Amino acid sequence: MHRLLIAGLSVMVIAAAPAAAANDAGQSVVLTLDAGKPGATIDRHIFGQFAEHLGHGIYEGIWVGKGSKIPNTRGIRNDVVKALKALHVPDVRWPGGCFADEYHWRRGIGPAGKRQAAVNSNWGGVVEPNTFGTDEFMDFIHQIGSEAYVSVNVGSGSPAEAAEWLEYMTSAPTDALGRERARNGHKEPYKVAFIGLGNESWSCGGSMSPDFYVSQMKLHARFDRNFNPAQTMQRVAVGPSGGDTEYTEAVMKAWSKKDWSWGFEGLSLHNYTTGGGWPPVHKATGFGENDYAVMLKDTLGMDDLIRKHAEIMDKYDPEKKVSLVVDEWGAWLAPTPGSNPGFLVQQNSQRDAVLAALNLNIFARHADRVRMANIAQMINVLQAMIQTDKKKMLLTPTYHVFRMYVPFQDATFIPVAFDAGTYTFENISMPRVDAVAARDKAGKIWLAITNLDPNKPAEFDIAATGMTAGRAVGETLSAPTIDSINTFGAPKTVAPKPITAVAAGGKLVLTLAPASVTVVALEP
């Protein structure tokens, strides 16, 4: 008997031969996808980003100022915008994080010289100049072609302050706040696709008991209005931290009793991959196979977490109206030696690329409930897409995974079955490979395969029902070592390479490098 993975479900099947052992020994993995059995839509918002006023996430990462020698458009750096456009970033969560519950939006609007500086007490106690405020964020969103996910201040702000912020952003220039926005350079109402009703209210957002949070959240869900009829706006309530279910229960129970006056459309889940324990101690570079295995094993726990919270959500919301929004996820590692520990600077390796792919696959398999996710964070902070150093910029291995997965945005999930056996390091075991497939809007079938094994390549014999698979064409991301990184001196150590396989003798065979991520289109 061995395990067959079907679209994330584990099914026991009887096999004539000990297939798991054979696959562990390196024989071909038969991977079958069934194009005739489409599943849920993989919401493009699971590829969302998170940009907090933290370290160099905003200042230098996005904002260099209009007078900077770094090429920019209205203060926003052009190289970063160009790189992000290629990711088709569906939404950006801003301004935090913990920062959001101490953010006072009025300090960040109006003439540059009149902005009120503040102290960023969450992140290093540095001066927050508020030169990047609402209008600059919306300009950035517009430049990269994304949507705004704005977290309102539930912790230290008032419902009135948040309601006025929404009015400033979304009302027509016929009321005072809309006119103020127009005076600040933007006559048309902005689109605010999502608002976060607080952040981590169980901790930095105010250490609120679930019931206290519910009473605060209801005020915001009622009064933080969208005045822009050209858009719909979804509200995301604070939900659980990791496996803690108290908030899930209380907030969903409240939702089940909502009335005409309030509601929300998403429940947030925050879960970082630390490899266990707090503070994070696992190294970002110079680590061995033990760290690799520990981190990947930990990240695969995202699947159980989603199941656990989805089960509670199903109890109160069997029709799955409320999205589970994993709006903070990613690897949180020991800070880069010599960096300000409050800036959460860490390197980004091939291991992190594999880790990102595994999470995206998990979200895709839970597409019926997980309709949004935001990796932490977009630039220079935690598991970033992009790193900058003054005028220099580089793309991380995680960036490449997000770029390779673009075809999965809003594609239809297709079940994949495979039996690859396990990858084991000492007493840590996990599936040797992972895969998801989807049909894009143009009808093209895409397959993403991750070979978790850092020591052995994996050979796949790809079979498809409901379509002819004559060729596989795409890109593969592998690296010299599991801890390979890109640096400003060597920015392309980890970069995708083209990969093509042509069917021969009725077989379509793909061989994938150890610890690699591959995305291919299947063509007739």
How would you classify the pairing of strands 416-418 and 29-34?
Answer: antiparallel
Active site (annotated) includes residue 200: yes
* 96 near ligand AHR, judged by CB under 6 A: yes
C-beta of 61 vs 474, nearer to ligand AHR: 61
Site for ligand AHR in 458-477 (CB under 6 A): none
C-beta of 238 vs 435, nearer to ligand AHR: 238
What is the rounded CA–CA span in Å between residue 32 and residue 37? 12
Element (H, E) at 22: helix 19-24
CA 120 to chain centre: 24
Instruction: Compose the 107-146 pattern: x for residues touching ligand AHR by CB under 6 A, - for all others.
Output: ----------------------------------------
* 328 near ligand AHR, judged by CB under 6 A: yes
C-beta of 39 vs 97, nearer to ligand AHR: 97
Number of residues that bind ligand AHR (CB under 6 A): 10
- Name the one range near ligand AHR by CB under 6 A: 104-112, 335-343, 374-382, 492-500: 374-382
What is the rounded CA–CA span in Å between residue 189 and residue 388? 32
C-beta of 347 vs 481, nearer to ligand AHR: 347
C-beta of 35 vs 238, nearer to ligand AHR: 238
What is the rounded CA–CA span in Å between residue 437 and residue 365? 10
Instruction: Compose the 143-182 pattern: x for residues touching ligand AHR by CB under 6 A, - for all others.
Output: ----------------------------------------
Strand partners, 4: 11
CA 190 to chain centre: 23
Structure tokens at 494: 């980890």
C-beta of 31 vs 98, nearer to ligand AHR: 98
Active site (annotated) includes residue 136: no
Residue 140 Cβ, how far from ligand AHR at the closest point, in Å?
A: 18
Cα atoms in the Cβ-side hemisphere of radius 13 Å centred on 384: 29
Q: Which of 200, 265, 319, 459 is flagged as catalytic?
A: 200
* 92 near ligand AHR, judged by CB under 6 A: no
* 197 near ligand AHR, judged by CB under 6 A: no
Give Cβ neighbours of residue 418 (< 8 Å, ≥ 6 apart). Answer: 4, 5, 29, 30, 31, 32, 433, 435, 460
Cβ-based burial of 349 (10 A; exposed 0-12, middle 13-18, buried ≥19): buried
Residue 271 Cβ, how far from ligand AHR at the closest point, in Å?
A: 10
Structure tokens at 182: 């127009």
> 359 and 51 in contact (C-beta within 8 Å)?
no
> 433 and 452 in contact (C-beta within 8 Å)?
yes
What is the rounded CA–CA span in Å between residue 316 and residue 313? 5
How far CA 313 is from CA of 8, 37, 233, 245, 251, in Å, comes to 19, 26, 21, 10, 10
* Sole binder of ligand AHR in the list 58, 166, 269, 376 (CB under 6 A): 376
What is the rounded CA–CA span in Å between residue 71 and residue 74? 10
* Sole binder of ligand AHR in the list 43, 200, 352, 483 (CB under 6 A): 200
* 240 near ligand AHR, judged by CB under 6 A: no
* Sole binder of ligand AHR in the list 43, 52, 167, 352 (CB under 6 A): 52
Q: Which residues are catalytic?
A: 200, 328
Interacting residues with ligand AHR (CB under 6 A): 52, 96-98, 199-200, 328, 376-377, 382
